């Protein structure tokens, strides 16, 4: 199958590109390298540097490579930034997304797997969060993801587009070759590791006054290799479930302090940290119910232990303390 992967030079995208290539797919990557790295794209993939909202570039790609399906990772994702610059998030995550869908229609490509987010739910009304939970985002990032989910629904009903929206909870971990080397690292586990590698002075934990067991946020961590497998299962089940939306997590919640303790256990090092004020837009608890994905996609996480997720991230960052080298242009 010929796959177009948007954001394929990023953290999750690069790992999925690697795995899709191993499965024998032809992979074409488009990435503007604002957060991703050219070095994270294997030479077996065809690479285009550019924005997924560039209609002219998209037309070239679809015409030249006869794309069968799109794996859509590319997005602005920093929640805190979305609170201060919502226009950027709506323009990139929604407007550019519509351009992508229209380019697909013109090329008669009718299959897409969309990287959505647990942020579409907002503050949970109950735990674990299943697909029936009301979607009431509390930040523009989550709103932009929800808007695109709704657009996919309309394109499905009007044009016959087949899609699955995969709502990641907290992606974590690494493969042997690729990990989280975003230019603006914000995810908790890689930030902690940066502290241990002396790239940050200390960890800031945002908020210790939440209504949780230790006052810090609780999140559900899912290994990126398990996320990849969900994409494989979604692609295989598009005909049977052509408008599916699925929550992807392990169904277990760990507080920020528990994550710190796990990193200390895995690495044998103490993590210096301090508490800081809450970040706007952060819900207290997010834990997934992935029962629907298990039932319809036959998907089950194989890397469910937080210790194993942390160990894979630690191994990658220890071997790549400076991430990837300077981006090679061209």
CA dihedral 155, 72, 305, 310 (to 10 degrees): -150
CA dist., res. 39 & res. 24, Å (int): 21
The CA–CA distances, whole Å, from 60 to 22, 28, 39, 206, 241 equal: 25, 12, 23, 44, 30
Q: Which residues contact 257 (CB under 8 A, 6 or more apart)?
A: 205, 214, 216
Active site residue 159: no
CA dist., res. 267 & res. 265, Å (int): 6
Nearest to 68 by CA among 16, 22, 107, 20: 107
Q: For 78-111, b where at least 16 C-beta lie within 10 A, e where not — what string?
A: bbebbbeeeeebbebbbebbeebbebbeebebbb
CA dist., res. 226 & res. 279, Å (int): 28
* Residue of 48, 141, 168, 221 marked catalytic: 141
Q: Are 220 and 253 in contact (CB under 8 A)?
A: yes
List active site positions: 141
């Amino acid at each position: 199958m010929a796959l177009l992967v948007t954001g394929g030079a990023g953290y999750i995208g690069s790992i999925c590109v690697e795995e899709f290539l191993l499965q024998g797919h032809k992979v074409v990557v488009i990435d503007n390298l604002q957060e991703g790295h050219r070095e994270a794209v294997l030479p077996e993939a065809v690479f285009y540097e550019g924005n997924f909202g560039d209609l002219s570039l998209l037309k070239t790609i679809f015409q030249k490579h006869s794309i069968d399906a799109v794996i859509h990772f590319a997005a602005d994702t920093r929640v805190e930034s979305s609170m201060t610059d919502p226009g950027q998030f709506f323009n990139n995550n929604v407007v550019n997304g519509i351009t992508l869908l229209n380019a697909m229609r013109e090329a008669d490509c009718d299959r897409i797997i969309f990287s959505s987010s647990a942020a579409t739910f907002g503050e949970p009304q109950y735990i674990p969060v299943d697909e029936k939970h009301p979607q009431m985002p509390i930040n523009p990032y989550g709103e932009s993801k929800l808007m695109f989910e709704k657009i996919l629904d309309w394109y499905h009903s009007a044009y016959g587009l087949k899609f699955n929206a995969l709502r990641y909870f907290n992606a974590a971990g690494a493969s042997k070759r690729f990990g989280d080397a975003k230019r603006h690292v914000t995810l908790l586990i890689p930030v902690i590791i940066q502290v241990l590698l002396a790239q940050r002075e200390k960890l800031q934990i945002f908020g210790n006054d939440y209504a949780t067991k230790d006052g810090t946020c609780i999140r559900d961590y899912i290994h990126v290799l398990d996320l990849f497998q969900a994409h494989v299962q979604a692609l295989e089940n598009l005909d049977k479930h052509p408008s599916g939306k699925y929550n992807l997590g392990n169904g277990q919640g760990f507080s920020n302090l528990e994550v710190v303790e796990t990193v200390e256990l895995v690495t044998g090092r103490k993590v210096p940290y301090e508490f800081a004020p809450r970040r706007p837009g952060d819900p207290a608890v997010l834990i997934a119910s992935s029962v629907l994905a298990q039932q319809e996609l036959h998907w089950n996480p194989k890397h469910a232990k937080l210790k194993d997720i942390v160990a894979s991230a630690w191994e990658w960052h220890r071997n790549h303390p400076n991430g990837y080298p300077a981006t090679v242009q061209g």
